[in-house]
A and B are shown apart, each in its own frame.
Chain A
Amino acid sequence: MTGEAAPPPDGYVPVLRLGGILLVTLQGDLYDSTAERLRQDIGRTVSDDAVTGVVIDLSGVEIVDSFMGRVLSDIAAMTRLLAAQTVVAGMRPAVAITLVELGLTLPGLRTALSTEEAMNLLGAEVANLPRTAGARRERP
């Protein structure tokens, strides 16, 4: 996407805060400038507003590339440094297959079927702070 002929000049992704959780809804293409701005917005909000979780809704994204994969894992790594959890929600089958074929399995990233479940996941997580990020994947 670098050097794209006509990127939207002021394209930006709204970052909504619902209590202690940030909701970001991605739609369509994600351009370099937009992604950079999104990263800054999330970083600032997480550190300023004592946010404990970030939910990135991908249900409106139909086409994905390695750039998008990197942006997602960057955001997850960044929020983890700021002591918040990132959950990616609503990824479409085609997008999931593409990411896997690209070799981007995003191991550090948590996922949920829908935004609602992502919220639940973070809500439960916030209530039980001692649990670690990998708790859900542990075998009983």
Chain B
Amino acid sequence: MPEQHTAEDRTDPRQEVAAFLRERREQIAQRWADAAVFRTVFTVSRDEAVEAGRAVVEALAAVAASGRIEDLEADGFAVVREQLARTAHARARAGATTGQISAEMEALRPPVTELLLDELSGAPADHVRECTTVLAVLMGTLRLVMLETTTVAGQDLINRQRLEMLEIATPVIKLWEGIVAVPLIGTLDSARSQVVMETLLDAIVEQHARIAILDITGVPTVDSLVAQHLMKTVAAARLMGAECIVSGIRPAIAQTIVHLGIDLSSILTRASLADALAYALQQQGAHIVPSSGPVVEPR
């Protein structure tokens, strides 16, 4: 709203600050280019840093002009949000903590305040105080916007990684013709066990597997819920015509299962993946024979 620049507007500290930011944006951008937050991100050329600083100053001027200096969702910020996110991301990648980023944003305020005080040198004290307050609030809001984008970016990353982990952590391995195995690693929750069940059943169809081995060596704890998930998977595999073996139950886990009174008697279990494989091979009619000597009978 540059056309509303009348003398009357100037009495409103917010409009005053907006006009000041707009007029002095080159100077401010030049000063900001040397501040840590811009200098460390735009390392290639100083012009780039000045350009980025100018964009932020313009956004601040727009927000001040709209009067919503405390509003994180003010339209003015929308323009620079992506740029701020990139900056925050780059700083975070360089190892800066949220606190450090916040401090670096705070460091942007003194140079602007200095310029503002220069600008208002002849004005009444009340007016000067109001204007500096508006600027301080505005810079605080900018800082919050920056931190918000940092956390949102972090949350997005976490969500994406969680999804990836769901898929990565459940590989179905073909051990032999008609034998597949799933080495389970990490805690089994409902969502993961659902993925395990689906990928295992699909693999049974695809590989035409008559035996599926669920290896829980990498599962740190087994409670009644995990046991229930295992039993469901075993039951579903059985319905499809495959036999399911659970292997890798450590003594401590076996003890826990007994203590909890979970009945796993309907499930075929083996101590280790090797035992399960030996049993599976035997079921398939294959025997493990050393190059010389007798047949090794599986336990």
Contacts and interface: CB of A to CB of B under 8 A. Distances in A.
Interface of A: 88-93, 95-97, 99-101, 105-107, 109, 111-114, 117-118, 136-137, 139-140
Given A96-B236, A139-B268, A117 B241 contact: yes
Contact of B235 (A92, A105, A113, A136): A105
B157 interface: no
B78 interface: no
A93 B210 contact: no
Interface in B224-280: 232, 235-243, 266, 268, 279
Contact of A105 (B202, B208, B238, B242): B238
Given A97-B197, A140-B279, A111 B240 contact: yes
Given A93-B198, A96-B201, A97-B197, A112 B239 contact: no
A113 B208 contact: yes
A91 B235 CA distance: 12
Contacts of A93: 198, 201-202, 204-205, 236, 240
B239 A113 contact: no
B241 A89 contact: yes
Q: Which of A105, A112, A118 has the largest number of chain B CB atoms within 10 A? A: A105
Nearest to B268: A139
Given A97-B198, A100-B232, A88 B210 contact: no
B241 A100 contact: no
Contacts of A97: 197-198, 201, 236
Q: Which of B197, B209, B238, B242 has the largest number of chain A CB atoms within 10 A? A: B238
Contacts of A95: 239
B241 A111 contact: yes
A114 B205 CA distance: 9
B236 A92 contact: no
Contacts of A112: 241
Nearest to B298: A140
Interface string B202-218: 10110011100000000
